[in-house]
A = this chain, B = another copy of it.
Amino acid sequence: MAFSDLSSADATAVLEPVSRNTLRAQVADRLRAAILRGDIAPGAPLVETALSERFDVSRGPLREALRQLIEEGLVVTVPYTGTHVAPLSVEDVHEIYSLRTALETFAFEQVWPSRDDRFRAELNRRNASLIAAIDAGDDHASIQTELELHGLVYEASGHRLLQRAWYALRGRLQLYWAAHHLAHGRHGPRRDSHDSYIAAALGDDLAAMRLEIANHMRRGAETTERFLRRPNPSGKSKRGDKS
């Protein structure tokens, strides 16, 4: 981490990491990472006692972490019965991408007049990172960098509620992309998949941007839905056991 910069910069952003980690947050982060990494498959059971023992924490913080992941859409639970990693469904995919279209369009409308050189430079930088990850064949990095690329417009909007809504969608999206990666071995974005998207975002035609977002999301939804309908091409079984 950056020990060097304690000169100027805004305090809040720098001092935030210093704050104490509660067990709830740590457990939530670890569990989320495990799910999104595919270590625990969609639909797999999550027993509180087993998890609390594995993480070496009591069930209190663990339960609160689970509640958080439920809010994020990564986990589902039924009272007194059981908790599971959220199962995949084609309806969800459609909802995720359609709502994402609306949100991302709104985000660009908010940002549109105030796009400056820094915004454009950052957009290019993140696109370069995505391309680098694709060229390197690093699927996990491809997913992360693509999410960061799309995340820029939400960050730049300065709209906290909008960013919250994006996070709610992003977690679910990650779940499906991770499952896709697990099943097919690769996330699959082409090297030039975001070229027209970037071009429109850098340009001055807002209507063209709207169209580009709609097309981009339509393609994404189609790809993901196609995978869901035929999830296991290689034939090797997916399991949710945790040993």
A residues sitting closer than 8 Å to B (CB atoms) are 19-20, 22, 60, 63-64, 67-68, 71, 79-80, 91-92, 95-96, 98-99, 102-103, 105-106, 110, 159-162, 164-165, 168-169, 172
Contacts and interface: CB of A to CB of B under 8 A. Distances in A.
A159 B102 contact: no
Contact of A165 (B19, B63, B165): B165
Sorted nearest first, the 5 A-B pairs with minimum C-beta distance are A102-B106, A95-B161, A71-B71, A99-B161, A67-B67
Contacts of A161: 92, 95-96, 99, 169, 172
Given A102-B105, A161-B169, 17 more contacts: A19-B79, A20-B80, A60-B60, A63-B64, A64-B67, A67-B68, A95-B159, A95-B160, A95-B161, A98-B110, A98-B159, A99-B159, A99-B162, A99-B165, A164-B168, A165-B168, A168-B168
B160 A20 contact: no
Copies of this chain: 2
A168 B73 CA distance: 14
Given A63-B64, A102-B106, A162 B79 contact: no
Nearest to A79: B22
A62 to B, nearest CB: 12
Contacts of A172: 161
A91 B159 CA distance: 9
Contacts of A169: 161
Nearest to A163: B95
A165 B79 CA distance: 24
8 contacts: A60-B60, A71-B71, A91-B160, A95-B159, A99-B106, A99-B161, A102-B102, A161-B169
